[in-house]
């Protein structure tokens, strides 16, 4: 392939940290981002739209509308169009890719799959470009100033969505740390796994038999036949944690698809 990759950015190290902070790379969350691709196609009358973030090696497609399945969600960074948009905060619009020296040798351009490309950078509040919201077409096209501005606004909404998710993750972590500290003060010599079981109980997660046995052993709950009932001590502990538990429950309900208690504990402990 004669297609040449874009130069490495001067701020690449800090940009990669910003990408990592989003916490969305390589997660299957299409339902959160499909609407942005759908609206992008509607606004521009293009046949294709996709959005993704780019780390050191890959572009991870958060969602797309119109791309063939064989393209996949992960593309090597050096094979993407969007790598050329990382060095900017304004749109990269190429009306005829077959006439553009950066893209004319790309296989997708040579076989006529895509002739028009517009990449709208997803920019953080501190100025780092995480990736792009893109539209493309097999025909040469032009975007009017109005459509370009609408796409810039839509991409800003996508950037805001990513920021909201990052804030939720941070709040999740902060509350989990507080919970760990409070439980360890109430129960001597409690392990991280045992703390996780207690939190699962308070969050109404499904419990195993060993989980139930632990809750009884730690006097968090009593077992009456098939029923598990919280004890007075357990209720006092839950009440002490109520604010933090409430935040975790709200985040769980809003992002239930990727709410993973085990993963949260692993991130906090650095394992």
Does residue 116 fall inside a structural domain? yes
Rounded Cα–Cα distance for residues 23 and 89 (Å): 21
Say if residue 36 is in the same domain as residue 160.
yes
Q: Is 189 left (phi over 0), alpha (psi -120 to 50) or beta?
A: left
Alpha helices, DSSP H, located in the chain: 12-22, 30-44, 107-110, 145-186, 192-202, 209-217, 232-240, 242-254, 261-269
Specify whether 145 is located in the same domain as 74: yes
In a domain, 246, yes or no: yes
Is the Cα dihedral 22, 248, 255, 155 positive or negative? Answer: negative
pLDDT value of residue 244: 58
Q: 156 and 212, same structural domain?
A: no
Q: Where does a domain end: 103, 132, 165?
A: 165
Strands (E), 57-155: 58-65, 74-76, 92-94, 116-123, 129-137
Residues 191, 147 share a domain:
no
Number of Cβ atoms within 10 Å of the Cβ of 35 = 15
Neighbours of 100 (CB within 10 A): 15
Q: Does residue 201 lie within any of the structural domains?
A: yes
pLDDT computed for residue 95 by the predictor: 97
State whether 17 and 111 are in the same domain. yes
Query: Which residues make beta-bridge pairs with 42?
Result: none
Asked whether residue 53 is assigned to any structural domain, the reply reads yes
Signed CA dihedral, 205, 208, 213, 214: sign only: negative
**99 part of a folded domain:** yes
Residue 145 shares a structural domain with residue 217: no
Over its length of 271 residues, how does the chain's per-residue pLDDT go in tens digits?
Answer: 689 999 999 999 999 999 998 888 888 888 889 999 999 999 999 999 999 999 999 999 999 999 988 888 999 999 999 999 999 999 999 999 999 999 999 999 999 999 999 999 999 988 999 999 999 999 999 999 999 999 999 999 999 989 888 776 666 666 677 777 888 888 888 887 888 888 888 878 888 999 999 999 999 999 888 789 999 998 888 888 775 555 555 545 444 444 455 555 555 444 4
Same domain for 152 and 21, yes or no, is yes
Residue where one domain finishes, among candidates 118, 135, 165: 165
Residue 258 has a pLDDT of 40
Q: Do both 118 and 150 map to the same domain?
A: yes
Residues 106 and 49 in one domain: yes
Last residue of a domain, one of 165, 196, 214: 165
Structural domain harbouring 264: 187-269
Whether residue 131 lies inside any domain: the answer is yes
The Cα–Cα gap between 129 and 53 comes to 9
Q: Do 75 and 207 fall within a single domain?
A: no
One domain for residues 146 and 198: no
Tally the domains of the chain: 2
Tell me: do 100 and 140 sit in the same domain: yes
CATH no. for residue 100?
3.30.450.40
């Amino acid at each position: 392939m004669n297609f040449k990759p874009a130069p490495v950015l001067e701020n690449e190290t800090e940009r990669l940290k910003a990408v990592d902070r989003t916490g969305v790379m390589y997660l299957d969350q299409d339902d959160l981002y499909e609407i942005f691709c759908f609206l992008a196609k509607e606004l521009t009358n293009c046949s294709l739209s996709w959005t993704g973030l780019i780390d050191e090696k890959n572009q991870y497609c958060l969602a797309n509308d119109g791309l063939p399945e064989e393209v996949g969600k992960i593309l090597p960074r050096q094979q993407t169009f969007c790598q050329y948009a990382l060095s900017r905060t304004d749109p990269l619009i190429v009306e005829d890719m077959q006439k553009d020296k950066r893209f004319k040798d790309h296989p997708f351009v040579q076989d006529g799959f895509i002739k028009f490309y517009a990449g709208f950078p997803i920019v953080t509040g501190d100025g780092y470009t995480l990736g792009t919201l893109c539209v493309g077409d097999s025909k040469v096209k032009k975007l009017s100033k109005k459509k370009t501005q609408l796409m810039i606004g839509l991409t800003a909404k996508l950037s805001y969505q990513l920021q909201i998710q990052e804030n939720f993750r941070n709040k999740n972590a902060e509350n989990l740390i507080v919970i760990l500290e409070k439980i360890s003060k109430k129960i001597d010599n409690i392990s991280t796994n045992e703390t996780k079981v207690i939190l699962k109980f308070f969050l109404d997660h499904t419990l195993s038999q060993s989980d139930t046995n632990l809750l009884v052993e730690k006097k968090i709950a009593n077992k009456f036949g098939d029923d598990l009932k919280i004890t007075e001590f357990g209720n006092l502990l839950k009440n002490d944690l109520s604010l933090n538990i409430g935040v975790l429950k709200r985040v769980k309900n809003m992002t239930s698809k990727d709410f993973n208690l085990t993963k949260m504990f692993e991130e906090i402990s650095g394992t």
